[in-house]
Structure 1
Amino acid sequence: MLVCPFVNGQILVDVKEQRLEDVLYSLKNKYNLAFSIDHKLASDCLLTVQSNFKNLDKAVEFLTRECGYAYRKRESVFIIYKADQEELSEDVHIDKFLIRGQVIDEKTGESLPYADVIYDSVGVSCNEKGYFSIKPNKEELYVEIRYLGYYSKDTVLLNNQFSTIKLTPGRIGLKEVLIESSEQHSLTTISNNPGMIKLNFKTANFLPGNHSNSLLQYLRLQPGVLAAGEQSKDYFIWGSYLGQTKINFDGITLFSISNSFEELSIVNPLMIKEIEVYKGAYPASIDGRSGAIMNIIGKDGDNSRIRGALHMNDKTTSGLISVPIGQQLVLQTAFRNTYFDLFKFKNNQNLVSSDYDKLYDARYKYQDVNMKLSGKTSRNSSYYLSFIESSDQLYSEYYNDIYNKKYSIDASSKEVQHGANFSFIKNWKHLGISQYSLSYTILNLNRSNSVDFKDEADLQENTISTYNLVNRISEYNLKLQHTLPVFGKNSIDFGASIRYNMGFYVLDTSENSSNKLYSQGTILSAYAEHIFQPFKSLKIISGLRVESTGTDVAVLPRFSSELKLRDHLKAKLSWGIYKQYMNEMTIIDELGNQIFYWNICDGKKFPYQKSMHTSLGLGYKADKIYLGAEVYYRITDQLSRFYENNNDLNLSIGKSKVRGIDLTVRKTVYNHDLMLAYTYSKAEEYFDYFDNEEYMLA
């Protein structure tokens, strides 16, 4: 391809079978041509040209005509579109303007969920698949597109044209690329939304250790996630109890959020594209728990070529393969498999006047598989079918025989979880964006424990303690969500869902006869949410969620706001009421040991949890530095647990309160992100079996 500087006062274009996009970029590099065109249009047209042109206007006019396109010039920008697109007069009513598009990765074609589209000092978030829809009051928009870990991009979007905006990833695997903006956004962000953290798969390339759990382990470095002294394999966010944090993967609810081996996350990191964590006070569109929400979005796959990854170490093998099927369909398959015993030790020694024998044996096996089929339609809509299955098995045996006293423990645990979700995202021409989802999840849990103590010198001293637990929890969910095109300073979302849950458990112990419980429940819910930005410095989000069990109706208001106090200083406030219709119940024996199982609440014997969240934050961001502080307070009523007293299980109802503060300092120095986070949190609880009527540390 040859695009020469002025030859005899003219522009020479000499190309053969070249895309219009390549020709336009050559003109841009040599003559500073400013243009806006949909990527698909620019790629579909192949040109063979050998001509001289007096100026850029003549060159663009000829090239667009050869492709059957047309153009308008606004100031110094050439806006190129289909020739048969309807011309609009300057006095057309605002409702006739509509700008739609999708934000994707320049290299892989991956959609970039919840990317920010900024225009006229108004910020709009894309949906899960990177789609956006805006009704402006003019024919074209000058916008800035931002996404975590990518270079931002400034461009012009044209009315009645679906635009595909490609962003360039920053710092990772770049060779020679043309950067349209010098600003690259951090790999982790404390979102403008109160109580929210975002990070994506680009982060994992910079983390030490293996890839089996690196991305989710990185969450533990974030403020408000996991307080000191808690187990590292569970996610305790802002003092949430077990079962109060909901984890979704591609719209699939995951009831088991950890496994026996802490180096493995519950979702294969090779499949993760983005993680959103709502620590509390989240909007009306989110339901299901009274605590925190973790939303994990899976990759779509690369539709341009076959890609694969394989990671191996002395304990685990994990892999992924992505295969394009045609031009619009991608099939991904990922797996993980462990192949080791956690620990095995046996020792036989002759001690003075006594025999000593000790054995400890633990056998562990974890396997999982993820499959995802992603595709697009000819009308710029998309769909995906995602499936996940995991199996976590642990068997341990401990035996100690010393001085004729024999002590043994046998324990086993097996968790099998599987689920799937089908989603169709419809990009309407004038009505906005709809998402239809149908999902299910099933968790089967089996745990047993046997303790035996025998003193051969005293035949009366013989203790045996056992328990066996079988627990099954399932969920089936049908959901509709719709986002209207952004109009003026307003954005409206609404949706509805129907969810069915079923739970079953059997508990046998040496002290008690068999305890069995079958439970089920159906939840109908609907929500509406309004985002209003009356001024540049103020954004208000108000929402209402209504949930019904058939016998109980809950009205759950939500509110949040963001106020720009100065150029670099913002304040954030959020508040909401939340309800939870299932519990991860706790059984506490007389020795303080705990057993957990899932149960569906009935609103009577097992009441519905209800909580209120309040969060207030202050953030300063300037010159590659971020300083943030966020205080939070949450109260929860109708907690339930079993406690053992004189070999009887008793149900107790309680309440809790959590308060704390998150502090964050983040600084970018020579392309390195440095972050310091500190959390102070205090969680207290009160149950009616406590000896005194005072709150105690949870």
Structure 2
Amino acid sequence: MVQKNGRLLILFFFISFSTWGQSYDVKCKNMPLNELLVELRGRYDLQFSYDDRLLSNYRVTLRQTYSSAAALLDDVISGLPLGWEKMGDVFVIFPVENPSLPTQYLIRGQILEKGSGEPLPFSHVVIDGHPLVTDLKGAFSYSARDDSLFDVKASHLGCYVLDTFLIAGSFHKLFLTPSVYSLPEIVVKDNLIERSVQIGQTSGLINLNSYIAGYLPGNGDNSVFNLLRLQPGITAAGEQPNDLIMWGSYEGTSRVTLDGITIWGLKNFNDNISAVNPFMVKSIDLFKGGYDATKEDLVGGIVRITGNTGNRSHTKLNFFANNQLVNGKVEIPISSKSSLIVASRRTFKNPFDADDIAINNLNSAENLKYRIDVVPDYWFGDFNIKYSLHGDNGNLFYISAMGASDNFKYNAYQERPRFIIHQEKYDKNKQGGASLYWSMNNGSGGRSHIKATWSELHSDYGIDRSIESIRFNILANRVDVKSQTMVREISLDYQYELAGNQLHQPAIGVEFFRNELNLTEDSSEVEYFSLSDAGNRIACFVQDEIFFAPRLTLKPGLRVNHSFFTGTTHIDPRFGVEWKPWSALKINMAWGSYHQFLIKSSLYDESGSFRYSWTLADEENVPVLRSQHFVAGAFWNQNNLSVSIEGYYKTVDGYTRFVRLRRINENVYDGEGRSYGVDVFVKKDLEDYNFWVSYTLGRSEELFPYFPEQDYRRAPHDQRHELKVAALARFLQKFHFSATYIYGSGFPLYSNYLSTNYIEPDYSRLDLALVYQFNFNKVKGEAGVSLLNALDHHNIKYSSFERIPLDQLNSIYVDAESVEFTPLVFVKVKF
């Protein structure tokens, strides 16, 4: 019995060992799965159960050896909607249904202006509670799961808010009604209106309404800059004619663009003639600082003006005239999808009066008490043309071009007890530019654009100054300087933005820049200085908007620049946070690193006057500007009352200043600056009234090696306080009254480049306007009057103040651009 049991045990171990050691060798190529199982069944005596027709649809390629049948089957059905289970000795193969993925529903659309069909760029869209901003052509896209019906709210400054439901799958065109749009039969009531100013959406950003600008004082030709100067953080005191001072930025560190064309800055006067034709303006976006990686390379601020695209249904004519210039625009439909705009302005008289001549005491200080007001001779003209083509699915193509020129000059002459002062000065500027833009929406919700721009400035400057001694009958301290400047920029930009969803909104882009610069300067008809440079640069960025929580948004971005001119690469990380703890309150924070390659260097001459000239950073004589921005603010909006408070801190390294004490003594210094402060903005909107108050408390400081005390001192554009008040009212349906008041505590006027002593005249200006709207058949128009500086307060302009040194103690101050009380009467018609 024992012997028999031993034999059975040996047989059991032998069978077990044989089964454990079984291997399965499979070699097949593109074989139907049912045929492979038949082959395996015959070769290895395996038993299978399956649907022969189902498995014949799957083909398998294998070349492998397996240690078990289970491992073999796992590999055979890998990636197929099949499963297996062993029941006794039979391997049962059955179909497996994959869990269905949630359906993605895509909504795409475009925001347009009712009546004109103009795209409304950078409008705000809220889809199912999720906020979005449209692109330049007013397009948006958004994808979500499970629900094909979207709750959409669309708004644009100056338009009624649209609240509707949209179904996914088609391209939607949403038309917003402007608050100033004439409705002959329908009266819109109890609808919210996005008013004149939108602030607090993103750090440092202000959106401005071009509709309301036409009713401000000075509206005739300068609606853009008159509206800009009333915003917090934009310096209005000093009436800077060539540039905008934003959060303590130096001249040349901020940029104004129209359809992407750089407005280099003519010798225009912001209280009279704008550098941008208001007939061409659709929307204005102001970035004071802390902007994201998609924006260009500057250490100051950005004003982005988007132009009209023209009427595509019928020809429209617009005409404007005041007592200084005329302006005309025609919009011609080329087809149902395209249009052409042509606009031009010309001065027909010198905007300055002989009555402006006066001799006033500037200050009781002995070395600063004399001042000469002179009458400049001034001429200005510009021309704009733009062709636009609209696609069926919201695509947009346009070509925009502009040219402008002005000629500013004056002769100053004054007899003093011992001297006769002679000074002649001229400043001629010509600028031109063009842009090509092509923006596309694809079927997946992505949006891309290609933009090419060219802009160029030619400037001629000359000054001839002498002081004649009456006693000795000789000329002394002669200055004879002539300079020519040409600056040019060519750029090519490609950006792609993916469809937004509940998680994020990514975007990428690459840009190419070429800058060219020619500078020459003659002193007493001898070439003193000559420079010709050209440099190429490439930049790329990646940006994302991450919706971290329902009320928390993170905006990380990275911008990388490589300058072929300097051979250096600069990396600029930028980061923003937007938090909305509840519906009425929003908190924003931003930090960013910024570089600037085309800059303005300052020249401080022997008379104590500042001049600025474009230069191209080469990292040898002129360093690349480097800056960091820190911005934080809170915005509260409820019951048509808006309150915003925003603080900033900015540092800049690499300022270049030429200090010329005498013709043979000139040194170049690299300096640094910092600015910090807080903006407060309060706005109340009623049905026929708009009020707002903005206040800026700020400080701008600089440090250069030539300062005797080697400590930060007030920068030339530093101003501690600035208060601005604006009120607009409509009465009797057709009358619009507006008033603006600006107070500034003043800039420091140093007696000389070594002294720390200065005076600080304040700035005060009240402007008033009354506008009447009229309709005669098909002709619509406005007529009105503006009173600039209605109280005739004597103000000093920041960049025009020049010194003529008489001797070691006395200087004459020439305020060549000073305009006192100025009435402007205008008429504007369109048909």
Letter in 2 for 1:613: H
Deviation at 1:322, TM superposition (A): 0.7
Cα distance in 2 for partners of 1:135, 1:345 equals 65
Which residue in 1 is equivalent to 2:231?
A: 222
Q: Is the 8 A contact 1:654 1:686 kept in 2?
A: yes
Deviation at 1:444, TM superposition (A): 0.2
Letter in 1 for 2:671: G
What residue ranges of structure 1 are gaps of 5+ in the alignment? 1-90, 348-357
Q: Is the 8 A contact 1:152 1:181 kept in 2?
A: no
Q: CA RMSD in A?
A: 2.3
Deviations 1:384-411 (A, max 9, x none): 0000110010121223457795432111
Q: 2:685 aligned with 1:677, yes or no?
A: no
Letter in 1 for 2:599: N
Which residue in 2 is equivalent to 1:576?
A: 592
Counterpart among 445, 450, 467 of residue 464 in structure 2 = 450
Cα distance in 1 for partners of 2:414, 2:680 equals 48
Q: Is the 8 A contact 2:593 2:629 kept in 1?
A: yes
Structure 1 residues 360-369 or 336-345, which shifts more?
A: 336-345
Counterpart among 258, 262, 283 of residue 253 in structure 1 = 262
Q: 2:545 aligned with 1:523, yes or no?
A: no
Deviation at 1:257, TM superposition (A): 5.9
Which residue in 1 is equivalent to 2:451?
A: 437
Deviations 1:58-111 (A, max 9, x none): xxxxxxxxxxxxxxxxxxxxxxxxxxxxxxxxx985575321111101111010
Cα distance in 2 for partners of 1:361, 1:113 equals 42
Structure 1 residues 486-495 or 206-215, which shifts more?
A: 206-215
Letter in 2 for 1:503: L
Which residue in 2 is equivalent to 1:8?
A: none
Deviation at 1:460, TM superposition (A): 4.9
Change (3 A) 1:200 1:544: same
Q: How does 1:361-380 map to 2 (within 5 A)?
A: 362-380=376-394
Cα distance in 2 for partners of 1:561, 1:652 equals 38
Which residue in 2 is equivalent to 1:281?
A: 290
Cα distance in 2 for partners of 1:410, 1:261 equals 23
Change (3 A) 1:289 1:618: same
Q: Secondary structure at the match of 2:621?
A: coil
Q: How does 1:545-624 map to 2 (within 5 A)?
A: 545-550=559-564, 551-624=567-640
Deviations 1:608-654 (A, max 9, x none): 00000001101111111111110100000111110013432211000
Q: How does 1:100-179 map to 2 (within 5 A)?
A: 100-137=108-145, 138-177=147-186, 179=188
Letter in 1 for 2:587: A
Which residue in 2 is equivalent to 1:56?
A: none
Deviation at 1:543, TM superposition (A): 0.6
Q: Is the 8 A contact 1:464 1:510 kept in 2?
A: no
Which residue in 2 is equivalent to 1:397?
A: 411
Cα distance in 1 for partners of 2:400, 2:583 equals 43
Deviation at 1:307, TM superposition (A): 1.3
Cα distance in 2 for partners of 1:619, 1:403 equals 59
Q: 2:643 aligned with 1:627, yes or no?
A: yes
Letter in 1 for 2:125: V
Counterpart among 301, 313, 330 of residue 321 in structure 1 = 330
Counterpart among 658, 662, 679 of residue 675 in structure 2 = 658
Which residue in 2 is equivalent to 1:691?
A: 708
Q: Secondary structure at the match of 2:247?
A: coil
Cα distance in 2 for partners of 1:177, 1:299 equals 26
Cα distance in 2 for partners of 1:92, 1:526 equals 39
Q: 2:483 aligned with 1:469, yes or no?
A: yes
Q: 2:345 aligned with 1:336, yes or no?
A: yes
Change (3 A) 1:210 1:121: closer
TM value normalised by structure 1? 0.82
Q: Is the 8 A contact 1:233 1:262 kept in 2?
A: no
Q: 2:555 aligned with 1:541, yes or no?
A: yes
Cα distance in 1 for partners of 2:514, 2:356 equals 49
Deviation at 1:198, TM superposition (A): 0.8
Cα distance in 2 for partners of 1:511, 1:414 equals 19
Q: Secondary structure at the match of 1:270?
A: helix
Q: Secondary structure at the match of 2:217?
A: coil
Change (3 A) 1:157 1:445: same
Cα distance in 1 for partners of 2:578, 2:374 equals 56
Counterpart among 181, 184, 191 of residue 193 in structure 2 = 184
Which residue in 2 is equivalent to 1:350?
A: none
Letter in 1 for 2:333: P
Deviation at 1:669, TM superposition (A): 2.6
Letter in 2 for 1:657: R
The higher-RCO structure (CA 8 Å, 6+ apart) is 2
| Higher Cα Rg, which structure | 2
Percent identity over paired residues: 27
What residue ranges of structure 2 are gaps of 5+ in the alignment? 1-98, 358-371, 716-831
Q: Is the 8 A contact 1:613 1:635 kept in 2?
A: yes
Deviations 1:439-498 (A, max 9, x none): 100100001010122235304553321111100000000100111111222101110010
Q: Secondary structure at the match of 2:376?
A: strand
Change (3 A) 1:260 1:470: farther
Change (3 A) 1:399 1:576: same
Q: 2:321 aligned with 1:307, yes or no?
A: no
Structure 1 residues 512-521 or 471-480, which shifts more?
A: 512-521
Structure 1 residues 506-515 or 580-589, which shifts more?
A: 506-515
TM value normalised by structure 2? 0.69
Which residue in 1 is equivalent to 2:274?
A: 265
Counterpart among 632, 636, 652 of residue 652 in structure 2 = 636
Cα distance in 1 for partners of 2:488, 2:425 equals 25
Change (3 A) 1:668 1:101: same
Deviations 1:244-274 (A, max 9, x none): 1111110111221652574111100111001
Cα distance in 1 for partners of 2:520, 2:586 equals 52
Cα distance in 1 for partners of 2:428, 2:152 equals 52
